[in-house]
Structure 1
Amino acid sequence: MRRINRRVILLGGGATAALGVPLFAFAQTQVDIEMRGTSRGERIWFDPIGLAVAPGTTLRFTNRDPGNSHTATAYHPEIFGRTRRIPESARPWDSDFLLPDQSFEITLTAPGVYDYYCVPHEMAAMVGRIVVGTPDDAGWEGSSGDRDDISADVLAALPAVEAILASGSIRVEDRS
């Protein structure tokens, strides 16, 4: 069994520093967002509805609603011609329809605010907001001020960026 000595650790740390990459940047995290619904389908939601994560975090959207199919879809002109509500340098995504217990993953790297929705349930305000990084990060893009492409109910359902940053995660039941 080979022992790792201090020189190896320092050499690795030195190489990392020389590259300008902090050690924690190599640790990619994964966070789960569930698609939920009541047994009769009168209420549907993402859980959590608001989430703060570090750049490079992988999000796994999983449909935990036994009675509905759902999507996780970024607001972006490339997807159904919607107004962009994600950072300009971010890649848009659409999970397509997920049946119960199916999942979809996306890794978000660009700092900023990402708004997304469920295609068949947007008008029921099944939307969410992810904040990647903080406003102090280089290249940060805040939420779109555009309100023409979404309803007042959808806009009201999206948690404030400041509240997400303060708590890290906002669940639907926390907002009741």
Structure 2
Amino acid sequence: MICTRRHAVWLGGCAAAAVAGSRIALAHPVATIEMRGSPRGERIWYDPIGLAVSPGTTIRFINRDPGNSHTATTFHPANYDRRRRIPSAAEPWDSDFLLPDEYFEVTLTAPGVYDYYCLPHEMAAMVGRIVVGTPGDSGWEGSSHDESDVSEDVLAALPLVQKILSEGIVRRED
């Protein structure tokens, strides 16, 4: 779902009305990944680049780069015929282009490793990795060993699953 500030205010009001009308409100965790860029545009990145979450977490990708539009797109055959780098039980996503301050949300339920990229900036290694659950979870799928359609720079930029699991949040090292 792509949202602007106007949508967020409207949706927030609708959600508040829905919660007020119910006796029990179930909260799902929300984690935010920001799309960032340097003032002159010579560097772009996701912050954080690696994130560990529990199944059922909603991920909010928000563009905080005032000079660029960005996407959050999973490596998957449904998205530009890419090799799958998400769990087989997971639905692929593509945020489409997000302008500054717009956001996109997706809820991740299948345990495993999700690799994603920014469509116009993949070659600049604007990639990220989300680890949902832990290797002991039923249905867990680790990171893909198929590296045939990603560059060495992309592979080097993706944080190791073990590092994400041990630290919870991994930020880009410059």
2:72: which partner in 1?
Answer: 72
SS of match in other structure, 2:33: strand
1:4: which partner in 2?
Answer: none
| Cα distance in structure 2, aligned partners of 1:167 and 1:85 | 22
Indicate yes or no: 2:52 matched with 1:52. yes
Deviations 1:20-72 (Å, cap 9, x if unpaired)? Answer: xxxxxx54100100000000000000000000000000000000000000000
1:126: which partner in 2?
Answer: 126
2:160: which partner in 1?
Answer: 160
Q: Which has the larger radius of gyration?
A: 1
Scaled by the length of structure 1, the TM-score of the pair is 0.84
- For structure 2, the residue ranges without an aligned partner over 5 or more in a row are 1-25
1:63: which partner in 2?
Answer: 63
Of all paired residues, the percent bearing the same amino acid is 71
Deviations 1:69-119 (Å, cap 9, x if unpaired)? Answer: 000000000110000000000000000000000000000000000000000
- For structure 1, the residue ranges without an aligned partner over 5 or more in a row are 1-25
1:90: which partner in 2?
Answer: 90
| Cα distance in structure 2, aligned partners of 1:51 and 1:34 | 12
SS of match in other structure, 2:154: helix
| Cα distance in structure 2, aligned partners of 1:154 and 1:169 | 19
Aligned length: 149
SS of match in other structure, 1:110: coil
| Cα distance in structure 2, aligned partners of 1:53 and 1:143 | 15
Q: Deviation above 4 Å: which 4+ runs of structure 1? A: none
1:38: which partner in 2?
Answer: 38
Deviations 1:100-157 (Å, cap 9, x if unpaired)? Answer: 0000000000000000000000000000000000000000000000111100000000
1:5: which partner in 2?
Answer: none
Scaled by the length of structure 2, the TM-score of the pair is 0.85
SS of match in other structure, 2:41: coil
